[in-house]
Amino acid sequence: MKFKFIHPFWTHVPAVLALLAGVAFTVMALPLPDPAPLHFGLDGRPDKFGSPWMSTVWMAGIAVLYIILSVILDENWARQEKVKTFNWIALLDDVTVAALATVQITYVNMLASSLYIYQFPWLETLIAVVLAGGAAALLEWMRPYRRWETSFQVEDVSQVKAEVERMVKAGQPLAYWEVQSPVYSNVLAVVVPVLMVVIAATAWSEVPWLSALVALVAIALTLSYGGFRTLVTRENIIVRMGMLGIRLLGLRTADIAAAGVHTFAPLKDFGGYGIRFNRDMRGYFLRGDRGVKVTTRKGKSYLIGSDHAERLEAVINAVIA
Amino acid sequence: MLISINEQDYRPVYVQIVNQVKQQIQDGSLKPGDELPSVRELASSLGINMHTVRRAYLVLRDQKLLVFRLGQQARVARLRSRPAGSAEVAAVIGERLQELITEAFLLGLSRDDFRQIVDEQITIRTKES
């Protein structure tokens, strides 16, 4: 099937304009002094020099990353909408890129003046953020609603259910196991820590305590490699995470009052994927929009994401019966 | 993946695990690349010895149905693109087939009756998967 975006690209126009403004202002200010001040102390005086293109490349790179991230998030949001809802995440790239572009423009302006004292442009940044954010909010409000027809095959689990019920009746020990380990989460568990370690190594001589902290966080992120695993036995339901199998959720089947297949909107209902909370329940999911909602006798609810929601529900209901 | 141990079954526990994993690969419940629980986790969930689960996994690995990679859980291997060689077929199913033929003979089944039963079972299994 051909991939088709249902969220319009024109909602990202403020971010793209801000990026173009930042780049255009830099090009118009050519030639830039080389070496140029790159880092400034609290008094606004430069304490590090280097290529004048460094800030432009970083600004443009981060801006492009934010725009791509925003396109992905907005598309996901639009696909999960049952009715038109205001998507606050849509403002993410516009506000961030406007702030970045303002800092870049004032930086280039400072370079052109040859007076190497830079005070952070709080007021200008605030104005740019309010303007870009306002324009983005207006575009988001104007955005048409397009319904995304989701289709999933409801699995016939009558056989599995009958089999598990027979096993439970016979008093046989059983273990049901499934995994959610999407490629994106494993890439994040490798690429992000590598980048963090590179940054930590670069900054080690200047801020060793912060570098050590970043390296520790990088190691912790690496441990998330492997995604979420759900294990159902006659006695327990356990959700574990990552290569060390850190236990995220452990429920005794005797404490469970009900379990049912639950369809949800990850971004709208939980603000993303992973270990998530909302008013009604705690969720553990890395992909998809279906899972099993388990409610305990104390009234607490947990959502376990699943690629085979009907099968997981059948097994849980058989063991709690 | 669903594994259960039947204590009434005359077959050893590791054979029960091997058979259930094979059946789930055959019916498509387990797909190539799917991860299996660790030896320790499956053993503690089923209340059996770790060596029993390890033995089952090793049998499945030797039959090229599971792959173990360093630092990773056991995974279901890619399905064969070509049928196994005659030596492997003889090693894996030859002896059991011989037992089945003997049982069928002792039950008084003719060659055609036995063929018909095998055909019916193949049809059922193929439909399920």
Task: State the DSSP string of A94-127.
Answer: HHHHHHHHHHHHHHHHHHHHT-------HHHHHH
Instruction: For residues A133 and A260, give the distance between their C-alpha atoms in angstroms, rounded to a whole number.
Output: 40
Q: Does A160 touch chain B (CB under 8 A)?
A: yes
Question: What is the CB-side half-sphere exposure of residue A99 using CA atoms within 13 A?
Answer: 13
The answer on A92 and A35 residing in a single domain is yes
Q: What is the pLDDT of residue B65?
A: 92
The answer on A210 and A105 residing in a single domain is no
Which of B3, B4, B35 lies at the smallest CB-CB distance from A181? B35
Q: What is the pLDDT of residue A245?
A: 87
Put simply, the answer to whether A174 touches B34 (Cβ < 8 Å) is: no
Looking at beta carbons, which residues of chain A come within 8 Å of B3? 174-175, 177
Q: Does A295 touch chain B (CB under 8 A)?
A: no
Which residues pair with residue B19 across a beta bridge?
Answer: none
Total domains in chain A come to 3
Please provide the CATH number assigned to the domain covering B13-76.
1.10.10.10
The answer on A134 and A98 residing in a single domain is yes
The answer on A128 and A199 residing in a single domain is no
Looking at beta carbons, which residues of chain A come within 8 Å of B36? 177
A257 phi, psi to nearest 5 deg: -95, -40
Q: Do A276 and A282 meet the contact criterion of CB atoms below 8 Å apart? A: yes
Is the pLDDT higher at B124 or at B54? B54
CATH of the domain at A304: 2.30.29.30
The mean pLDDT value for A49-54 works out to 84
The answer on A273 and A213 residing in a single domain is no
Looking at beta carbons, which residues of chain B come within 8 Å of A174? 2-5, 46
**Pick from A39, A21, A1, A30: nearest CA to A203:** A39
Put simply, the answer to whether A175 touches B46 (Cβ < 8 Å) is: yes
The answer on A200 and A244 residing in a single domain is no
**How sure is the predictor about A141, in pLDDT bands with cuts at 50, 70 and 90?**
very high
The answer on A127 and A263 residing in a single domain is no
**How sure is the predictor about A153, in pLDDT bands with cuts at 50, 70 and 90?**
low
Residue A150 falls within a domain, yes or no?
no
**How sure is the predictor about B127, in pLDDT bands with cuts at 50, 70 and 90?**
low
The mean pLDDT value for A178-207 works out to 89
Which residue of chain A has the CA closest to B1? A177
- Tell whether omega for the bond before A31 is within 30 degrees of 0, i.e. cis: yes
A274 phi, psi to nearest 5 deg: 115, -140
The answer on A260 and A210 residing in a single domain is no
The answer on A168 and A107 residing in a single domain is no
The mean pLDDT value for B107-127 works out to 87
Contacts of residue A97, Cβ cutoff 8 Å, sequence gap at least 6: A14, A15, A16, A18, A19, A63, A66, A67, A132
Q: Do B30 and B1 meet the contact criterion of CB atoms below 8 Å apart? A: yes
CA distance A175 to chain B (A): 5
Q: What is the pLDDT of residue A43?
A: 79
**Pick from A72, A77, A64: nearest CA to A265:** A77
The answer on A124 and A261 residing in a single domain is no
Which residue of chain B has the CA closest to A242? B72
The whole model's pTM is what?
0.74
The answer on A321 and A292 residing in a single domain is yes
Res. A292: pLDDT tops 70: yes
Which residues pair with residue B52 across a beta bridge?
Answer: none
Interface of B with A (CB under 8 A): 1-8, 34-38, 41-42, 45-48, 71-73
Is the pLDDT higher at B94 or at A114? B94
pLDDT one-digit tens code per residue, A211-240: 999 999 999 889 888 899 999 999 999 999
Instruction: For residues A167 and A231, give the distance between their C-alpha atoms in angstroms, rounded to a whole number.
Output: 16
Task: Compute the mean pLDDT over every residue in chain A, rounded to the nearest whole number.
Answer: 89
Say how many residues make up chain A. Answer: 321
How is chain B split into domains, by residue range? 13-76, 86-128
The answer on A114 and A170 residing in a single domain is no
**Pick from B113, B72, B70, B1: nearest CA to A175:** B1
Residue A187 falls within a domain, yes or no?
yes
pLDDT one-digit tens code per residue, A262-280: 999 898 899 889 999 999 9
Residue A290 falls within a domain, yes or no?
yes
Residues 49-108 (A) with a CB less than 8 A from some CB of B: none
Which residue of chain B has the CA closest to A155? B29
Instruction: For residues A109 and B103, give the distance between their C-alpha atoms in angstroms, rounded to a whole number.
Output: 92
Q: What is the pLDDT of residue A30?
A: 82
Q: What is the pLDDT of residue A205?
A: 83
Q: What is the pLDDT of residue B77?
A: 92
Q: What is the pLDDT of residue A70?
A: 93
Residue A317 falls within a domain, yes or no?
yes
Residue A153 falls within a domain, yes or no?
no
Residue A1 falls within a domain, yes or no?
no
Res. A137: pLDDT tops 90: yes
**How sure is the predictor about A135, in pLDDT bands with cuts at 50, 70 and 90?**
very high
Q: Which residue range forms the structural domain that includes residue A200?
A: 182-225
Q: Do A6 and A79 meet the contact criterion of CB atoms below 8 Å apart? A: yes
**Pick from B45, B54, B102, B129: nearest CA to A234:** B45
